[in-house]
Amino acid sequence: MSARINILFKRIISPLAYAVLLGASAPLLAADAAPAVTQPSALPAKAALNAALLTGSTFTPPDPSTIPHDEFGKAVQLGRNIMFETQKYAPQYVGNSLNCVNCHTDGGAMAGSAPLWGAWVSYPAYRAKNKKVNTYEDRLQGCFRFSMNGKAPPLGSDVLVALQAYSYWLAKGLPVDEKVAGRGYPNIPEPAQAPDFVRGKAVYEANCAICHAANGAGRVVNNEVVFPPLWGAQSFNWGAGMSSISNAAKFIFANMPYGQSYSLTPQQAWDVAYYMDGQDRPQDPRYEGSVAATRAKYHDNKNSLYGTTVNGVLLGDTGEPIPFKGNKS
């Protein structure tokens, strides 16, 4: 029965859902919900099925069970393994406790969660971040350096070859076009009120802390990270895309709380993104000798809180980046 409701939801209701969601009322999404709940603490989340919903994506990447059993397939499988278990398959390039899948749902297969297939058909591309035309390999290197607070794998290394093989395999059948639906994280409207730390903290405590912990450090069980850290020493660094409030707001709106896509209002997503990105994290590896100089060169925009004082803390004031050592596998 529930499966049928969901199909109905996808086919008929979803075109309407966008308008309703953005109107921040969302009663329609209750189509995904069961009978009314009496306990206020037990309100079912009015969540969309997954992050793809509001992207308009119609592309379905191939199923992992169809990865070929040959030399090429081995590289594809390694790429997939790196996405899901970066700590295990590429530890020499990783400096925090994250895995690529943490920000690329379903190992880079999910529309609306920066899917690798959307990226594969979009490079080479000019990026304002480093003011040059970047190849796909350059882009992958950036994720290791910033999101994984690690070290860029050399061009042509096994790790980058495997990630490219996997991306190519996922993208088969897509036309080359950087505007492909489902790429990146879906846009959300500008917030009605300026994003706010105090409101963000309340959103965080009600919707996120159960998994990511009140101190943002995530949770570790039997020496494995279950819920990834959102800030602090083991999270992404100040150069990462996720440290931009607008990227974070988009990601969170479409993907968090986990399994409850689009259940926050856009305003809540902006507020909680501000709260998360208003906390300290590893130094920007492009550090220019002082917080002020680094802000001036790389962070001088309203989406970065680096080098500003939030909640009494001058963010980024942690000195030189700690030299990279790499994780043990």
Partner 1 sequence: MRQMPLQTIRLMTGVCLLAGISSIAQAAPPPEAASCAACHGAQGDGLPAANYPRLAGLPAHYIAEQLKYFADGTRQNAIMAGMAKPLTPAQITILADYYAGLPVAMPAPAASVAPILLSRGQQLAEFGDWKAGIPACFRCHAAGGVGVPPYFPPIAGQSAKYLADQITAWQTGTRKGDPQGLMHSVALRMTEADTQAVTAYLAAIKPAAAVLGDSQPLSTGGVK
User: Which residues of the chain form contacts with ligand HEC (CB under 6 A)?
Assistant: 86, 98, 100-105, 114, 116, 118-119, 122, 139-140, 143-144, 147-148, 163, 183-184, 207-208, 210-212, 227-230, 235-236, 240-242, 247, 251-252, 256-258, 264, 272, 276
Packed helices 158-171 and 71-84: angle between N→C axes, nearest 10 degrees: 100
Q: How far is CA 61 from CA 99, 115, 117, 315, in A?
A: 21, 10, 8, 40
The CB-of-235 to partner 1 minimum distance in angstroms stands at 9
For the bound state, the minimum distance from the C-beta of residue 76 to ligand HEC, rounded and expressed in Å, comes to: 14
58 interacts with partner 1 by CB under 8 A: no
259: contact with partner 1 by CB under 8 A? yes
313 binds partner 1 (CB under 8 A): no
Partner interacting with residue 143 (select from partner 1, ligand HEC, none; CB below 5-8 Å by kind)? ligand HEC
Query: CA angle 167-170-173, nearest 5°?
Result: 115
Residue 229 to residue 188: CA distance in whole angstroms: 24
Pairing label, strands 219-221, 224-227 = antiparallel
Among 103, 109, 248, 276, binds partner 1 (CB under 8 A): 109
Task: Give the interface segment with partner 1, choosing from 29-37, 68-76, 138-146, 170-178 (CB under 8 A).
Answer: 29-37
Taking the complex as a whole, how short is the minimal distance between the CB of residue 69 and ligand HEC, in angstroms?
24
Which residue, among 316, 310, 320, 307, has the nearest Cα to 281 in the 3D structure? 316
Alpha-carbon gap, residue 82 to 159, rounded angstroms:
8
Which region among 106-114, 125-133, 183-191, 245-253 touches partner 1 (by CB under 8 A)?
106-114
* Cβ burial, residue 49 (10 Å; 0-12/13-18/19+): middle
Closest to partner 1 by CB, 246 vs 265, is: 265
Q: Token pair of 241, please?
A: 């895309």
Cis peptide before 124 (omega within 30 of 0): yes
Q: Is the dihedral of CA 214, 33, 101, 132 positive or negative?
A: negative
Nearer to ligand HEC (CB atom), residue 13 or residue 327 = 327
Contact partner at residue 157 from ligand HEC, partner 1, none, CB < 5 to 8 Å by partner kind: none
Instruction: For the CB of residue 160, give the shortest distance to ligand HEC in the complex, in Å.
Output: 9
